[in-house]
Structure 1
């Protein structure tokens, strides 16, 4: 039976993630100092510095080739940094081999022994530990109960589901009580529904054990659901570190804004600054719009400065009738996609620009008229606080 989701709350973009456990105010548990890694002339990781607290679930998020797995392998000791240092629990890991580190790495393939039972797979890493046979049995039993697989102890890996195999690998990784668990794309082999369920199971297990998790993933929803904090990586560099809310609602750059979730970009110029910033946006100009947008000002803005205005699809309201307030645009629905829980509208502005809008389907189809249909004239609006202003 799957674990019930615990410690969850609404996250950005509809994601849900657990409330972070209180973290210590002392030295960070992991410190990555100016770490780089080159393979010949190719630099996979470029001058990365990070701190990770004890008890965090920390995600390394990025596309293929961004350096996240290379960084994970350096933490595990499978690769040596070309420059920089890594500290784990106050100890410099320079020259420390993988088997001497307080770390266990859980691979994407799970790497279970097909000829061994679930129980023997979990206990395999304890064979050379200074434990009695009884202590090993108790530890294996404890791990199987933790991941709710005790009834499957005598089965082989091919006799259990993909989600259960994932939990066997997790139990084996935790059996040796590592201080740090590294997970490389841990849920990539699971289907969507099972992946969502297993995310909560991982969160609950981490909360019960207190082990620090570092998760490598290319899946932004997975990173936002699982983690206390995320490091967004691109071309070997960390572009932003923050909570899921930070990186979604307050991206530090156009790259981060575009990588995390759906978003539409418009070019503009700062007209004036006050309680709100007034931004001239040519794409918003038209017969029924001034082309000026009100947005929450950010530090360092100056009149005349070129900026990128970014708006998430769910921040728009869409209506057949003109609403009151600032930031009102006229448009025509060009495309419409129905996804059950919500609908996606692609609205053409008089300038020719396209805006993506998500509207929640709060009522069952047939009980209420759809907000709009193909080729309908509509009005869009958004609150000034919803507009993201980016200087790069």
Structure 2
């Protein structure tokens, strides 16, 4: 389901040539500490762009510089062709939605949404019409006279979103917007956010540490670490074609193997992997050559598991060291002859009873993978 959703997102991703937001060589230092280092990014109009990384990677600092709450030590930020250097936060066509939502507890939902329009040049009738439009957009009209403590966490999140969009900003910044919600509500709200963004056409920039959230929500992702952008791409590109061990390891589950390129013929590379006890076949990447040290990485869902040896070049024998049953799938920890443990995810496509699993603890099993499923990394 997630793959089909992302395919649709990729298909409708905006294709504007000129960047709507240009972050040009931006660095931010706090004393001797560099929070953001020489970041350059182009963001298209109308897309949902995610800054993804762990705590302290610089993503929120970058967001605050876009909002005007922090000033870059070096570099410039352009929004819709205008240089924002020196422009105060209140004069920027930007609204920032905080993780806490920052709703006024003594105000009704309607008054919270209207508060952002307090200083706009509008008549009372225009202001009321805008508030009504925003409440309809987030499907909260029936809750307009309730106060924040009288509605759910997901509804409070939508109130904050309605208030942010009421001023019709060119850019909406969302700092961990769904972190306060439980898993099921978070999943539901992700699709609501996508739907609202599609209806308004507003450019969204989302900061998150949640890889799955970034993959579902965004058209493109920038993966950050230690103040630097490590890779930018669509969710499909980031997940399927990471260009470093850091990015591959940060997004989803993966197992790394040290190897050496034995040969390259056309688009096929034979990789000598000591942990496999021989060579395996993988899709070659540009620039590799025989004799080169390389990392081969495998994601759990790309590996097939069975009790009999499969045909093909990528057959590896091992023993089930551990397993976990998650209902829709099972995770097998398979110990290879070298002692290395490889994670394998097997979808439970049919109902089975006890003792009917693909394999059980201590069973000898065979693993296999398609050459195109192996990720080759040179850094």
* TMscore range, shorter length: over 0.9
Secondary structure of 1:214's aligned partner: strand
1:343 equivalent in structure 2: 330
Structure-1 residue corresponding to 2:108: 117
Contact kept, 8 Å, 1:232 with 1:238, in 2: the verdict is: yes
Deviation at 1:18, TM superposition (A): 3.2
CA contact 1:58–1:228 (8 Å) conserved in 2: yes
| Alignment of structure 1 residues 149-164 onto 2, 5 Å | 149-164=140-155
- Residue 3 of structure 1 is matched in structure 2 by none
Q: What is the rounded CA distance, in whole Å, between the counterparts of 2:6 and 2:54 in structure 1? A: 20
Q: Residues of 1 paired with 2:370 and 2:51: CA distance? A: 32
Shift of 1:367: 8.8
How many residues matched?
378
Quote the residue 1:304 is aligned against.
Answer: 291
Give the match for residue 235 of structure 1: 226
Structure 1 residue 11 corresponds to structure 2 residue 37: no
Structure-2 residue corresponding to 1:363: 350
- Partner residue of 2:67? 76
3-state SS of 1:273 partner = strand
Q: Distance in 2 between matches of 1:61 and 1:368?
A: 41
Give secondary structure in 2 for the equivalent of 1:126. Answer: coil
Q: 1:135, CA displacement in angstroms?
A: 0.6
2:245 alignment partner in structure 1: 254
Question: 2 CA distance for matches of 1:67 and 1:37?
Answer: 9
Query: Displacement, 1:365?
Result: 3.0
Q: Aligned with 2:275: secondary structure? A: strand
Does the aligned pair in 1 maintain the 2:16–2:45 contact within 8 Å? Answer: no
Does residue 323 (structure 1) correspond to residue 314 (structure 2)? The answer is: no
Residues 346 and 22 of structure 1, relative CA distance in 2, 3 Å threshold: closer
Instruction: Please give the alpha-carbon distance, in whole angstroms, between the structure 2 residues aligned to 1:56 and 1:336.
Output: 40
Secondary structure of the structure 2 residue equivalent to 1:262: coil
2:179 is matched with which residue: 178, 184, 188? 188
Query: What SS is found at the alignment partner of 2:110?
Result: helix
Does residue 387 (structure 1) correspond to residue 374 (structure 2)? The answer is yes
The CA deviation at 1:19 is 4.2
C-alpha distance after superposition, 1:241-277 (max 9, x if no partner): 0000000000010000000000000000001110310
C-alpha contact 1:319 1:380 (8 A) present in aligned 2: yes
Which structure 2 residue ranges, 5 or more long, are not aligned?
A: none
Once the two structures are TM-superposed, the CA of residue 322 in structure 1 deviates from its matched residue by 1.0
TM-score normalised by L of structure 1: 0.94
CA distance in structure 2 between the aligned counterparts of 1:323 and 1:59, rounded to whole angstroms: 40
User: What secondary structure is seen at the aligned counterpart in 2 of 1:344?
Assistant: strand
Give SS of 1:51's match. Answer: strand
Taking structure 2 as the reference length, what is the TM-score of the superposition? Answer: 0.98
Within-5 A mapping of 1:143-222: 143-222=134-213
Alignment check: 8 A CA contact 1:11 1:244 kept: no
Q: Is the 8 A contact 1:59 1:217 kept in 2?
A: yes
Q: Is 1:374 equivalent to 2:365 in the alignment?
A: no
Unaligned runs of 5+ in 1: 1-8, 286-290
Distance of 1:22 and 1:262 partners within structure 2: 26
- For 2:13 and 2:235, how far apart are their aligned partners in 1? 16
In 2, Cα distance between equivalents of 1:381 and 1:22: 35
User: Distance in 1 between the 2:125 and 2:6 partners?
Assistant: 43
Deviation at 1:25, TM superposition (A): 3.2
Q: Are the aligned partners of 1:270 and 1:302 in contact in 2 as well (CA < 8 Å)?
A: yes
Provide the C-alpha distance between the structure 2 equivalents of 1:136 and 1:21, rounded to a whole number of angstroms.
33
CA shift at 1:11, angstroms?
A: 2.5
Change (3 A) 1:28 1:226: same
